[in-house]
Amino acid sequence: MLAKRIIPCLDVKDGRVVKGVNFVNLRDAGDPVELAALYDREGADELVFLDISASVEGRATMVEVVRQTAGEIAIPFTVGGGISNVEDMKRILRAGADKIGINTAAVTNPQLIAEGARRFGSQCIVVAIDAKYNESWGEWEVYTHGGRKPTGIRALSWAQEAEKLGAGEILLTSMDADGTKDGFDLKLTAAVSDALSIPVIASGGAGRIGDFYDVFTEGKADAGLAATIFHYKEIAISELKADLKQKGVEIR
């Protein structure tokens, strides 16, 4: 069994880390390079950067942020947000990222997963899935465009298709749990983890140390991702890892 990973997530807008609710009321949470270096020192296993800049200038700034971060940290990091073709992937990987996260672009053009995997290797391609429970289906539906657009696609079958096309990992965000701090969506995470042979990163809902134990055991996730609780020092990574170790969870 692979050791479990703890992954802080940084939303970057025009070169700064921001935190808000559903991309509104954004608050500045610091310099991304400094925060990344801090998380590296604190024992994070990996990082995820999400570029939420809308402007072309913001995109150019992000490449510079990636370049500077790569020079400061030793742990792997994934960059997602606004990546829509293989050239975008190449630019970000060349700047120093280890993996690429794709979400809306993968749903719109599934062959992008296969192209990216062919060019850079499956280990570089992380497909991000934003999923929300659909009452009438009794199953989860995929949303795109930052969780604003329902697609009519079932999350489980899309995760399986992404794996077949060459995704190396799935970053699974529960829209129902996101921002609640009531714990990860264990049902969704376990359903997707059971359906795949590639690692699943659980995202959305972390509020306390015990939530990570639950998502690794009941949710069967390979990694737990969170933002606010780490940025605002509600949970220390060292404390979280010590707790998991004590409970017998194998971590990095």
Instruction: Point out the residues that are catalytic.
Output: 11, 130
How far is residue 200's CA from residue 51's CA, in Å, rounded to a whole number?
Answer: 21
60 CB-side CA count, 13 A: 3
Nearest C-alpha neighbor of 77 from the set 100, 104, 46, 105: 46
Length of the chain as a residue count = 252
Give the orientation angle of helix 111-120 with respect to helix 86-95, to 10 degrees.
40
Distance of alpha carbon 240 from alpha carbon 216, whole angstroms: 13
Q: What is the CA radius of gyration of the chain?
A: 17
Using CA atoms, how far apart are residues 27 and 22, in angstroms rounded to an integer?
Answer: 12
CA-wise closest residue to 207 among 231, 183, 185, 227:
183
C-beta of residue 24 within 8 angstroms of C-beta of residue 57: no
Q: If DSSP codes are grouped into helix, strand and coil, which group holds residue 46?
A: coil
Q: Do the Cβ atoms of 206 and 183 come closer than 8 Å?
A: yes
Cα gap 144→81, rounded to integer Å: 11
Q: Which sign, positive or negative, has the C-alpha torsion 181, 6, 9, 221?
A: negative
